[in-house]
Amino acid sequence: MEEEKNQSGVIPEHYTGKVIDTESFVEFNSTEEAKAFFRVVKQRLLNVNAWHELAGAATAEFQVVDRSAREVDRLVQKGDYFKIDVPGPGPVAGEGYDWVKVEEINEVSEQDMESVGIRVRPSPSPQNTEEDIAHFYSEESTSNFTVTREGSRITAGIYDRNTKPNDEGGNLVDKARDLLVGLGAVNGFSKYQWKQLADGLLGK
């Protein structure tokens, strides 16, 4: 695979666990066509609530939740959370959902290159008082979502960094669940989920 598309600067340095890289791309006949379609793809990336429709059946559902723990129907912003309904049982700490917090959203634009990136990290649920990480990945893990136009090519990339199962859950049920789901995600589900999403972001 080519080097990660980190023009937006959201992908952190990798220092532990696994790397999971997923990319899809489309090529256009002209830069002008690519620029026009990039605007569409950028909106799709930022409209997280619609990701499940893009990714299709047997993938997770995403809901944006704001800093006040309210579900919102708008484009994602830094400081928001994703409330994630992964197929199968969810963690007790998250009341059945996995949670990540949006750490960074960054956009860069030049004549021959445009890129938007989102970085999220596993977090406690903002909708209850539980302090445990409500996710099957550990707090070191990040998922980084990017769409990048270079000339007439657009690439959708999802880059998981420092990826490890969450073994810090506060109760045995969550520990067992997070370990099993986390290992499954590291070893295959994330790759399937992110490939479906990458392809969906670029669907014409």
**Whether the Cβ atoms of residue 106 and residue 9 lie closer than 8 Å to each other:** yes
Q: Which has the closest alpha carbon to 121: 106, 135, 111?
A: 135
Runs of H (alpha helix) within the chain: 31-46, 51-55, 172-184, 190-201
Cross-strand pairs, 169? none
Q: For residues 27 and 10, what is the distance between their CA atoms, to the nearest angstrom?
A: 24
pLDDT digits (tens, 9 = 90+) for 81-114: 999 988 765 555 556 788 999 999 999 999 899 9
Q: For residues 152 and 140, what is the distance between their CA atoms, to the nearest angstrom?
A: 35
pLDDT digits (tens, 9 = 90+) for 34-51: 999 999 999 999 999 999
Q: What is the mean pLDDT of residues 168-182?
A: 52
Q: For residues 196 and 59, what is the distance between their CA atoms, to the nearest angstrom?
A: 8
Q: Which has the closest alpha carbon to 18: 188, 164, 191?
A: 164
The yes-or-no verdict on residue 74 having pLDDT over 50 is yes
The structural domains of the chain, ordered by start, are 18-201 (3.30.530)
Which is it for strands 153-163 and 61-65: parallel, antiparallel or unpaired?
unpaired
Higher pLDDT, residue 23 or 93: 23
How confident is the prediction for the chain on average, in pLDDT?
A: 87
**Two tokens, residue 99:** 């949670």
Q: What is the mean pLDDT of residues 145-173?
A: 85
pLDDT at 169: 57
Split at pLDDT 50, 70, 90, the class of 135 is confident
Q: For residues 147 and 10, what is the distance between their CA atoms, to the nearest angstrom?
A: 12
